[in-house]
Chains A and B, each alone.
Chain A
């Protein structure tokens, strides 16, 4: 295949012309560093996931040097915390650079590298403690299980590093606003700023937990820990964490995908409003992860359930906007009839197919989430495999598959190579395999979870109890799903390495797809860009939802706090 033939990457009618825009090598290296490290975490985390799925199905028994819960900790930390954070920051940088004058400011770049190295150092520290079996506390690290202090210090470095990374985005955005007075900021940059604001507000909770509770306690400076308080702080962070994963996928759906399908960004205002709503209503809701817990009264639990459900609005708005964009794109290309536009979409282009499969999966996944947060109904599914199934459909499908779709074009744009038709096909096969694996694994987890099978448990027949034995056939299916997913990750990594180092070089890389805003759409009101206002409203909502119950948890007598325990 000659490089010239597929210079203008774009398959099945999708459009991405070659472009004269190319990333500065310094920016490209920064972004690639984040992507490469995220892929290493993806590989190791997926390997742990494969072994877990095989153990749980009873297909294999681990060698004595490896513990199931050690693998489970590695899987959660590497995939949910490390892979996502590095990938998201890399992707956000790319769009921020592209839409804000094409270059990162030198000062911002040094913040970004500091952030990268801090997160890298923290990840390595935490990984070593997991490897030596000194931190089999899972990625939620619930006290009073006590890991090595280096595990917690590693986490602090990751969190603080990610703050440095967000400062890099803020610096570029603030500079752009100063030098483009009176202009509306580009949609991608706006959404990147919103995502990082949400991240900082969210991570304050876990930072307080780790720095003021876990680190001094694990070093032996404080003998006891307020367990209930540490859990509330963790979940203050744990829920918005899922929006930190989701929002970058939304950015891709809202801003990048319209360009690929020859459409326009539906509105310049509503996507911004959506993101503001996510900031406001993702934080004061953590108790819906703690509905069955003592120490928090029913009133506060229910209040946070109500606040949680407000997420329905930005979700409905997003569903409307995305489908509307697709339909308008199809119609502008001459589609006839009510559903003719569906056939005009570039199904054969992995950059479109991967995110569209993610969106479809998000519909049942989101519905399951409403069950989880529904006060009473939560009792039926809490801590069963249903929940594991839920975030394998949301995070591991809707978000991660979108990240795969992004990688297929972002890597070649950064390395000035081409997304070849072969690599595109490989991407389609890989995406479909991912969906197949997730349907087997995720849907079956939902079913067997409803029957009672617990999450986060090694293989067990509970003394051959009839109820537990009835779950086994489902676990066989989940095991097969795990194998398919691992094969899919391997195909993805193969494609990533190919696109990074071996795909044909080109002087004119494919254009970084940024959708144009429909000109008929109205000018976004300036108030949407008044960040201080939205942060203030968020703080008020957080105080309303959390101040009293947290104050109450802080009042528990010292004798009811817990000394450290190591039970693994």
Chain B
């Protein structure tokens, strides 16, 4: 199949750009560790309230300015619903759902996790700037979906 000369130039330029772009994404992901939220751990959704650590949702100190947030996203609330940390703190989020699919999104950050019942989602984020961060559910979960919220106060 023969291509017109300008189309060849057009496609070759496009391919080189694409390859560079994909290599950059790959390096960021697999060499620098910037991967989206996820994880492969499973859990029984109707036993979430009885399964450690999710039976006691809360914010736990791991080290100085490093925390573990064990959370439930459920209709129509986040547990715990409010957390306070000093600026510069790192939080490891571990979140699951006892009912339907939810989203956990912290406005103004890259924390944007799908919470699928049966699975545990994990993501780590460092909160450098002080402020009142809004956590909201961004996957439709029912009639109170738009009322499902939480807060992280960074002091």
In the bound complex, CA of A142 to CA of B99 (Å): 12
Beta-carbon contact of B28 and A468 below 8 Å: no
Count of A-B residue pairs with CB < 8 Å:
210
Cβ–Cβ contact A292 & B142, under 8 A: no
Q: Does chain B have a CB within 8 A of A374?
A: yes
Tell me which residues across on chain B come within 8 A of A213, comparing CB atoms.
none
Q: Interface with B: A92-100, A432-440, A552-560, which one?
A: A552-560
Residue from A270, A292, A376, A557 within 8 A of B38 (CB atoms):
A292
Q: What residues on A are CB-neighbors of B36 within 8 Å?
A: 291-292, 298, 301, 375-376, 378-379
A459 neighbours in B (Cβ, 8 Å) = 146
Residue with the highest number of chain A CB atoms closer than 10 Å, among B47, B113, B139, B147:
B139
Partner of B10, one of A69, A142, A316: A316
Binds B, one of A46-54, A340-348, A450-458: A450-458
Q: How far apart sit A254 and B120, CA to CA, in the bound complex (Å)?
A: 47
Interface string of B54-75 (1 = CB under 8 A from A): 0000000000000000000001
Q: Are A383 and B138 in contact (CB under 8 A)?
A: yes
Distance of A455 from chain B, by nearest CB (Å): 7
Binary B-proximity of A300-338 (CB < 8 A = 1, otherwise 0): 011001100100110011001000100000000000000
Interface residues of B in 83-132 (CB under 8 A from A): 99-101, 103, 105, 107-108, 110-114, 116-122, 132
**Contact residue among A316, A452, A458 (Cβ-Cβ distance under 8 Å from B14):** A316
Cβ of B155 within 8 Å of any chain A Cβ, yes or no, is: no
In the assembled complex, the CB of A433 is this many whole angstroms from the nearest CB of chain B, namely 30
Which B10-46 residues have C-beta < 8 A from chain A? 10-11, 14-15, 18, 21-22, 25-26, 28-30, 34-46
Q: Assess whether B110 is in contact with A380, with CB atoms less than 8 Å apart.
A: yes
- Chain A residues with CB under 8 Å of B117's CB are 144, 227, 562
Residue pair A69, B140 in contact (C-beta under 8 Å):
yes
Complex contact A296–B149 (CB within 8 A):
no
- Contact (Cβ within 8 A) B99 A560: no
CB contact between B105 and one of A228, A324, A452 (< 8 Å): that residue: A452
> In the complex the two chains form, is B116's CB within 8 Å of A227's CB?
yes
Residues of B within 8 A of A270 (CB): 1, 3
For B146, list chain A residues within 8 Å (CB): 457-460
Q: What 0/1 pattern do residues 457 to 493 of A give for CB contact below 8 A with B?
A: 1111011011110000000000000000000000000
A231:B116 contact, CB within 8 angstroms: yes
Q: Is the CB of B114 within 8 A of A298?
A: no
* Cβ–Cβ < 8 Å partners of B140 in chain A: 69, 72, 138, 142, 456-457
The interface bits of chain A over 151-194 (1 if a CB of B lies within 8 angstroms of the residue's CB, else 0) are 00000000000000000000000000000000000000000000
| Distance of A269 from chain B, by nearest CB (Å) | 6
Question: What 0/1 readout, one digit per residue, does chain A (529-568) give for beta carbons within 8 Å of chain B?
Answer: 0000000000000000000000000001101111101111
Chain A nearest CB, measured from B100 CB (Å)? 5
Across the interface, name the chain A residue whose C-beta is closest to B7: A320
Tell me, in angstroms, the Cα distance from A561 to B136 when the chains sit together. 25
Q: How large is the interface on B (under 10, 10 to 19, 20 to 34, 35 or more residues)?
A: 35 or more
Contact among B15, B100, B103 for A145, CB-based, below 8 A: B100
Please state if B132 and A295 are interface contacts (CB–CB under 8 Å): no
Q: Report the bound CA distance from A294 to B118 in whole Å.
A: 9
Q: Give the residues in chain B near A324, CB-CB below 8 Å.
A: 4, 7
B154 touches A (CB below 8 Å):
no
With a cutoff of 8 Å between Cβ atoms, the chain B residues found around residue A145 in the complex are: 100-101, 141-142
**Residues of chain B within 8 A of A383, CB atoms compared:** 103, 105, 112, 138-139
Any B CB within 8 A of the CB of A525: yes
Nearest Cβ on chain A to B101's Cβ, whole angstroms: 5
Task: Please determine whether B134 and A468 come into contact, CB atoms closer than 8 angstroms.
Answer: yes
Cβ-neighbour of B141 out of A316, A561, A567 (below 8 A) = A567
Chain A 67-82 against B: per-residue CB contact (8 Å), 1 yes, 0 no? 1010010000000000
A345 to B98, CA, bound (A): 59
Interface size band for A: 35 or more
Q: Which A residues are in CB contact (< 8 Å) with B4?
A: 324
A525–B41 alpha-carbon span in the complex (Å): 50
Q: Given A69-B140, A227-B101, A465-B132, answer yes or no on A560-B116 (Cβ-Cβ < 8 Å).
A: no
What is the bound-complex CA distance between A317 and B3, given in angstroms? 10
Pick the most buried of B45, B117, B140: most chain A CB atoms within 10 A of its CB.
B140
Complex CA distance for A305 and B3, rounded to whole angstroms: 27
Inter-chain contact B38/A296, CB cutoff 8 Å: yes
- Interface membership of A290, Cβ < 8 A: yes
Contact between A567 and B138, CB atoms less than 8 A apart: no
> Does A522 belong to the interface (CB within 8 Å)?
yes
Q: Which residues of chain A (228-268) have a CB below 8 Å from chain B?
A: 228, 231
Cα A375 to Cα B26 with chains together (Å): 9
Q: Which of B35, B120, B132 contacts A376 (CB 8 A)?
A: B35
Contact of B44 with A559 in the complex, beta carbons under 8 Å: yes
Contact A294 B44 (CB under 8 A): no
B78 CB to closest chain A CB (Å) equals 12
Known: A290-B114, A294-B121. Contact between A460 and B141, CB under 8 A? no
Instruction: Indicate whether A293 reaches chain B with its CB closer than 8 angstroms.
Output: yes
Evaluate contact between A295 and B119: CB separation under 8 angstroms. Answer: yes
B42 and A317 within 8 A (CB): no
A34 within 8 A of B: no
Check if A292 sits within 8 Å of B143, measured CB to CB.
Answer: no
Whether, in the assembled complex, A282 has its beta carbon less than 8 Å from a beta carbon of chain B, the answer is no
Q: Give the complex CA separation of A451 and B108 in angstroms.
A: 7
Q: A228-B118, A320-B6, A376-B29 are in contact. List 8 more A-B contacts (CB 8 A).
A: A142-B100, A294-B41, A302-B25, A320-B10, A324-B7, A456-B139, A467-B108, A567-B144
Q: List 15 A-B contacts (CB under 8 A).
A: A145-B100, A227-B101, A228-B118, A292-B38, A292-B114, A294-B120, A376-B34, A452-B134, A457-B146, A557-B42, A560-B119, A561-B45, A562-B117, A567-B75, A567-B99
8 tightest A-B CB contacts, nearest first:
A567-B142, A452-B107, A294-B119, A454-B138, A460-B146, A560-B118, A383-B138, A559-B44
